[in-house]
């Protein structure tokens, strides 16, 4: 019998993306399929997605809400540069009433019917399996939007002839997003009131779909070993540390990989000239292109370090620390290019910085994937001063593009970036600071800019990062090992 995994999540490249989860679900399924597993990833078919072959529809009723999800299938790896993977598919679930909307989750706050949207996603996935009599070996659900999948397996489907007893894995990509809703959603999701307790979904008088996932899954994983430890402490646990400590035996940290095909300076279609660790000429061409795109003075800026920042503009990413450095950043001997969207106060901060310092700071408010590739290639330094960082992908892209990351020592940043200090650490590949303070951030950035003036050291650090293996292959092997462990426990 082939081993099969049914993955359920809310966004996946190339169909939908608001953050790192989409990158993970765009890559991990293929990497697992390459290890011999049959993988089905189920994600919503949001507005604008036209991909997929129609493969059927079914009638579904969730807590009195009637709908008729239609399923569109895309082979895993379709459209990418990686060869198509046999034994893998993405099922896009089309329920226009729920998913054909202006934005993926809602502007500012989640859509009021979010519990229903993701309940329907999970139930559609399960009913698809049930209708075909195909029992997955493992269900692997992601983030709060996938939490209900684990809950349904332990409740609604516990005695189901096809799905009863299927073990589940729940992966936390970011504990800050908890899927909170009013308790009266329980009956509207076909869930019993008995789940409104500390062992179930109850969280400070409301329900949390994230908590449902954590408490119901057989194994819980998160996206870096350091974050797995951190979230069991009050400082990083966002109120969930006690819940996670109770499950510490079943909590595993597996570092994300990156899509090394899509993020490859030797073949990136979004940069003017390819380059490798052995020949960095193309990186200068990318720097010139970035400066031109951002209308910074090319002649002066080419010889100064270029600091890049691509991020959601939220406190998690350290934007409050950066906002405290309004006077210090412009006097550094560096130029800054910033790409992001997020909280208006941080957008306004960077817009006004760019207006006041047009020769050294430029900003683009918006989400622009091609431009993000160009910045990763063209910048010398990548700034990621996160308060917390479950894994972080951008610092790994930076390493691969020879762009030295300046990061805070938290979560996956601590697991991937090794600080450079003169005379130490042969594996150093960037600059790391500890305290979540503007001073510590400025100190690390200043250290980086000083080393930029020592080209031989700089190139050595670039070489270390560019030659590291951040591919999904290693992570996928760890996931498969974990799936197999879970199946052994069950037999
Ligand atoms: P998170 O998932 O917390 O936002 P990650 O570093 O794990 O952080 O992943 C962020 C991803 O989103 C990266 O691929 C990054 O390049 C991308 N990204 C963030 N903001 C933008 C933007 N404004 N335009 C293009 N890509 C962006």
CA 178, 182, 183, 189 dihedral sign is: negative
Torsion (CA) 219, 392, 200, 12 in degrees, nearest 10: -80
Place of tokens 């570092």: 255
Give yes or no for a contact between 274 and 350, defined as CB atoms under 8 angstroms apart: no
Query: What's the alpha-carbon Rg for the chain, to the nearest Å?
Result: 23
Q: Which of 256, 206, 191, 202 is nearest to 226 (CA)?
A: 256
CA-412 nearest atom, ligand 1: 7
Mutate to test the pocket of ligand 1, among 171, 312, 398, 416 (most ligand atoms within 8 A of CB): 312
Give yes or no for a contact between 84 and 131, defined as CB atoms under 8 angstroms apart: no
**Three-class SS of residue 439?**
helix
pLDDT tens for each residue of 169-228: 999 998 989 999 999 999 999 999 999 999 999 999 999 999 999 999 999 999 999 999
Two structure tokens written together for 357: 């310092």
Give dist(CA 133, CA 358) in Å, integer: 62
What are the helix (H) ranges across 85-113? 96-99
Residue 339 backbone dihedrals phi, psi, to 5 degrees: -125, 125
Q: Which of 121, 227, 251, 240 is nearest to 180 (CA)?
A: 240
CA-23 nearest atom, ligand 1: 14
- Write down the pLDDT at residue 85: 61
Buried b (16+ CB within 10 A) or exposed e, 178-196: bbbbeeebbebbbbeeebb
- Measured from the Cβ of residue 485, the count of other Cβ atoms closer than 10 Å reads 12
CA 458, 461, 466, 472 dihedral sign is: negative
Q: Which of 341, 337, 342 is nearest to 353 (CA)?
A: 337
**Three-class SS of residue 86?**
coil
Mutate to test the pocket of ligand 1, among 372, 392, 411 (most ligand atoms within 8 A of CB): 372
**Three-class SS of residue 308?**
strand
Cα 48 from chain centroid (whole Å): 21
Q: Which of 465, 29, 37, 472 is nearest to 265 (CA)?
A: 465
**Three-class SS of residue 95?**
coil
- Write down the pLDDT at residue 81: 43
Q: Is the whole model's pTM more than 0.85, yes or no?
A: yes
Residues of the chain with pLDDT under 70: 1, 78-86, 425, 491
Name which residue sits closest to atom 18 of ligand 1, judged by CA.
311
Name which residue sits closest to atom 15 of ligand 1, judged by CA.
394
Two structure tokens written together for 85: 């993977």
What are the helix (H) ranges across 164-252? 185-188, 209-216, 225-230, 241-246
- Ligand 1 contacts (CB < 6 A) are 19-20, 23, 310-312, 339-341, 367-369, 372, 391-394
Residue 403 backbone dihedrals phi, psi, to 5 degrees: -110, 115
**Three-class SS of residue 83?**
coil
Give yes or no for a contact between 133 and 162, defined as CB atoms under 8 angstroms apart: yes
Give dist(CA 11, CA 13) in Å, integer: 7
Give dist(CA 73, CA 136) in Å, integer: 17
Give dist(CA 170, CA 142) in Å, integer: 6
Give dist(CA 112, CA 90) in Å, integer: 27
pLDDT tens for each residue of 111-147: 999 999 999 999 999 999 999 999 999 999 999 999 9
Give dist(CA 433, CA 424) in Å, integer: 16
Task: Tally the C-alpha atoms within 13 A of residue 486's C-alpha that lie toward its C-beta.
Answer: 27
* Beta strand 361-365 pairing with 70-75: unpaired
Name which residue sits closest to atom 22 of ligand 1, judged by CA.
367
Name which residue sits closest to atom 26 of ligand 1, judged by CA.
369
- Write down the pLDDT at residue 83: 55
Cα 55 from chain centroid (whole Å): 29
Two structure tokens written together for 268: 């990136």
Mutate to test the pocket of ligand 1, among 13, 14, 19, 22 (most ligand atoms within 8 A of CB): 19
Give yes or no for a contact between 171 and 222, defined as CB atoms under 8 angstroms apart: yes
Give dist(CA 120, CA 464) in Å, integer: 46
Mutate to test the pocket of ligand 1, among 20, 21, 347, 383 (most ligand atoms within 8 A of CB): 20
- Write down the pLDDT at residue 425: 67
* CA end-to-end distance (rounded Å), the chain: 15
Interval between CA 311 and ligand 1 midpoint (Å)? 5
């Amino acid at each position: 019998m082939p081993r099969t995994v049914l993955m359920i999540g809310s966004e996946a490249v190339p169909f939908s993306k608001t953050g790192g989860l989409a990158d993970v679900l765009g890559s991990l399924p293929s990497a697992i399929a390459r290890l011999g597993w049959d993988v089905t990833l189920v994600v919503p078919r949001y507005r604008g997605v036209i991909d997929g072959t129609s493969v059927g529809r079914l009638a579904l009723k969730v807590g009195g809400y009637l709908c008729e999800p239609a399923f569109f299938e895309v082979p895993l790896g379709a459209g990418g540069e990686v060869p198509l993977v046999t034994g893998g598919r993405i099922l896009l679930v089309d329920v226009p009433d729920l998913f054909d909307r202006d934005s993926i989750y809602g502007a500012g706050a989640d859509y009021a019917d979010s519990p229903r949207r993701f309940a329907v996603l999970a139930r559609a996935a399960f009913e698809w399996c049930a209708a075909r009599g195909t029992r997955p070996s493992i269900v692997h659900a992601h983030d709060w939007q996938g939490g209900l999948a684990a809950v349904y397996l332990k409740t609604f489907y516990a005695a189901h002839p096809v799905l009863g007893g299927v073990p589940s894995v729940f992966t936390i990509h970011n504990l800050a997003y908890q899927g909170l809703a009013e308790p009266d959603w329980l009956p509207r999701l076909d869930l019993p009131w008995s789940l409104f307790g500390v062992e179930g979904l109850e969280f400070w008088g409301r329900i949390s779909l994230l908590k449902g996932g954590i408490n119901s899954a057989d194994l819980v994983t998160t996206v870096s070993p350091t974050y797995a430890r951190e979230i069991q402490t009050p400082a990083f646990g966002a109120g969930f540390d006690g819940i996670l400590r109770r499950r510490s035996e079943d909590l595993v940290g597996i570092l994300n990989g990156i899509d090394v095909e899509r993020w490859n300076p030797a073949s990136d279609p979004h940069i003017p000239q390819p380059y490798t660790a052995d020949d960095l000429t193309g990186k200068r061409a990318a720097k010139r292109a970035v400066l031109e795109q951002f209308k910074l003075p090319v002649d002066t800026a080419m010889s100064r370090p270029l600091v890049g920042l691509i991020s959601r503009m939220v406190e998690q990413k350290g934007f409050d620390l950066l906002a405290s450095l309004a006077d210090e950043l412009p006097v550094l001997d560096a130029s800054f290019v910033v790409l992001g969207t997020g909280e208006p106060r941080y957008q306004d901060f960077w817009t006004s910085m760019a207006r006041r310092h047009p020769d050294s700071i430029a900003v683009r408010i918006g989400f622009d994937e091609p431009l993000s590739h160009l910045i990763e290639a063209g910048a010398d330094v990548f700034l990621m001063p996160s308060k917390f960082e479950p894994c972080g992908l951008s610092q790994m892209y930076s390493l691969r593009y020879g762009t030295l990351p300046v990061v805070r020592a938290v979560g996956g940043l601590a697991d991937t970036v090794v600080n450079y200090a003169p005379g130490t650490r042969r594996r150093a590949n960037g600059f790391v600071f500890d305290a979540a303070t503007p001073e510590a951030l400025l100190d690390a950035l200043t250290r980086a800019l000083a080393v930029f003036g020592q080209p031989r050291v700089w190139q050595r650090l670039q070489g270390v990062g560019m030659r590291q293996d951040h591919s999904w292959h290693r992570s996928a092997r760890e996931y498969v090992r974990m799936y197999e462990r879970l199946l052994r426990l069950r037999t």
